[in-house]
A and B are shown apart, each in its own frame.
Chain A
Amino acid sequence: MATIKLEVVTPRGKVLDVEADSVTAPGALGELGVLPEHRPGLVMLGGGELRYERGGAEGEPVFIRGGVAEIRPDGVLVLADEARTPANADKDRAEAILEKAMAARDQATYLDDAELQRIANDRAYAEAVLKVAGH
């Protein structure tokens, strides 16, 4: 069976590089499932969990905090602003991010699209981390 090469790269290095059967990415407009031979394109990512399946089993999810993904028939390249595996995800930091995002949303009088998107990404990222951290 054909597989897709899933790579997650952040400014702090490569987080993930695996061969996967399918990938589910947190797109800015909602979740996006990718199977081999997907039509190529570029997708804006939001925040949340990136999941993938390999050999019938679910791989360890990666938490994404905004970014963009390049989809090719044979692979998915995720350029994330920040990405963490559950082992590296810091609960306290996620809480701080969530708090900051909510404060930014509540206090601002005007937010442009990019800022709104960033806040939404931070929130989704933090909530995904907190959910797994058993909150």
Chain B
Amino acid sequence: MPSLKDIRKRIGTVKNTQKITRAMKLVSAAKLKRAQDAMLMLRPYAEKHREMLVSLAAQVVDGASAHPLLARREEVKRIGVLAITSDRGMCGAFNAQLQKAVARYIEEQDAEVIVNPLGRRMALYARKNALPTGEKFGEVIPAAADDRVREITERLVDLFIEGEVDEVVIFSNRFISALTQTPTMMPLLPVVPEQGDDEAAGADIGGSSDLFYEPDQTSLLQYVVPRYVEVQVRQAILESIAAEHAARMNAMSSATDNAGEMIKTLTLQMNRARQAAITTELMEIIGGAEALK
């Protein structure tokens, strides 16, 4: 049985840990709010942009030749994966989930898969497991800046255009709610202009096929298509960051609860040990008094 002093010391340690986890939880909650706002702000833009792309692509007779990013390759030999995780741990199964999903994807594909990690955790995992790695995009938090998103997108687009890869997909955690994050795979390149679930009717501008273009269709495609890709990448990054903070908040919340449980158990143990010590002392005194009679 541990001594009273030992138990007291342990309670102190657990209390300190609890303080840290509680602080981390609060920090994550504040960051989550901001990340979630950024994510929600982008949503209407992304939605409208997709609608525009769909209606524009619908007008083009032959999408594949109209823009190289719309061209589907007949044979897919190599697939580039943009795998987004966090930079730090302490966020539950957030990173492990995604890493596992990527690993499974690599196994399932006949084509060669090249991983382009974004976020330190993914880069570490790729190195440890000797995954075929392409571009390393570094840390994920600064990646949400406009310029960085553009750089990353341009790099991915280059890989595709130059024929290094025949398809590009994104693996990232999707923010479903503050309690749920799911690793998701999303095809990025080639761009497939598909209608979303909710806007089957609204996609056709003004319900007319007689549209005018300024300057012309090709220039517009040249703007809209890469921009669409960029928006997709940005959305994946923002969702992943929001999901990360949510995951960390939950992990730290349960860690705080667990620490509380532990303190309770230890306090009980401590009281028991203290009572035992008192009882022993009393016995000794009584025993001594009896002996004097």
**8 A-B residue pairs with CB within 8 Å:** A11-B45, A14-B44, A40-B210, A42-B212, A43-B213, A68-B227, A81-B227, A113-B219
> What is the CB-to-nearest-CB distance from B172 to chain A, in angstroms, rounded to a whole number?
17
Q: Are B45 and A44 neighbours in the complex by a CB distance under 8 Å?
A: no
| Known A44-B214, A68-B220, A68-B227; further 13 A-B contacts with Cβ < 8 A | A9-B44, A11-B41, A11-B45, A11-B46, A11-B231, A27-B214, A40-B208, A40-B210, A41-B214, A68-B223, A70-B48, A113-B219, A114-B222
Assuming the contacts A9-B45, A13-B41, A73-B206, asked whether A79 and B52 have C-beta atoms less than 8 A apart, the reply is yes
Q: Which of B45, B211, B223, B226 contacts A41 (CB 8 A)?
A: B211
CB distance from B218 to the nearest CB of A (A): 11
Q: Which residue of the partner chain, among B52, B208, B210, contacts A70 with CB atoms under 8 Å?
A: B52
CB neighbours (8 Å) of B223 from chain A are 44, 68, 114
B: residues with CB less than 8 A from A are 38, 41-42, 44-46, 48-49, 52, 56, 205-206, 208, 210-215, 219-220, 222-224, 226-227, 231, 234
The listed residue with most B CB atoms (<10 A of its CB), out of A14, A32, A41, A72, is A41
What residues of chain A have their CB less than 8 Å away from a CB belonging to chain B?
9-14, 27-29, 32, 39-44, 68, 70-74, 77, 79, 81, 113-114
Q: How far is the CB of A120 from chain B (nearest CB, A)?
A: 13
Please give, as numbers and ranges, the residues of chain A lying within 8 Å of B214 by CB-CB distance.
27-29, 32, 41-44
A42-B206 contact given A28-B215, A29-B215, A68-B224, CB 8 Å threshold: no
List of A residues within 8 angstroms of B213 by Cβ: 41-43
Instruction: From the candidates B44, B46, B205, name the one contacting A72 in the complex (CB within 8 A).
Output: B205
Q: How far, in angstroms, from A42 to B210 measured CA to CA in the complex? A: 11
A9 touches B219 (CB 8 A): no
Contact of B206 among A14, A29, A72 (CB under 8 A): A72
With both beta carbons as reference points, the residue of chain A lying nearest to B52 in the complex is identified as: A70
Q: Is the CB–CB distance between B41 and A12 below 8 Å?
A: yes
Q: Which residue of B lies closest to A13 (CB)?
A: B41
Given contacts A29-B215, A32-B214, contact A42 B52 (CB under 8 A): yes
Q: How far is the CA of A29 from the CA of B215 in the complex (A)?
A: 7
- Residues of chain B contacted by A71 (CB below 8 angstroms): 205
Q: How far is the CA of A28 from the CA of B219 in the complex (A)?
A: 11
Residue among A14, A77, A79 having the largest count of chain B Cβ atoms under 10 Å: A79
How many Å from the CB of A82 to the closest CB on chain B? 9
B50 CB to closest chain A CB (Å) equals 11
User: Are A42 and B215 also in contact (CB < 8 A) when A9-B44, A11-B231, A68-B220 are?
Assistant: no
Residues of A within 8 A of B222 (CB): 113-114
- Chain A residues with Cβ below 8 Å from B49 are 79
Minimum distance in angstroms from B45 CB to a CB of chain A: 5
Specify the chain A residue showing the minimal Cβ separation from B43.
A13
Q: Which residues from chain B contact A42 at a C-beta distance below 8 Å?
A: 52, 56, 205, 211-214, 220
Q: Which residue of A lies closest to B211 (CB)?
A: A41
**CA–CA, A43 and B77, complex, Å:** 38
Residue with the greatest number of chain A CB neighbours at <10 A, chosen from B41, B49, B206: B206
Q: When the two chains form the complex, which single residue of A9, A11, A14 contacts B234, counting CB atoms closer than 8 Å? A: A11
When distances are taken between beta carbons in the complex, the residues of chain A under 8 Å from B38 are 12
Bound complex: CA A42 to CA B220 (Å)? 8
B215 CB contacts on chain A under 8 angstroms: 28-29, 44
Residues of chain A contacted by B231 (CB below 8 angstroms) = 11
A73 to B208, CA, bound (A): 10
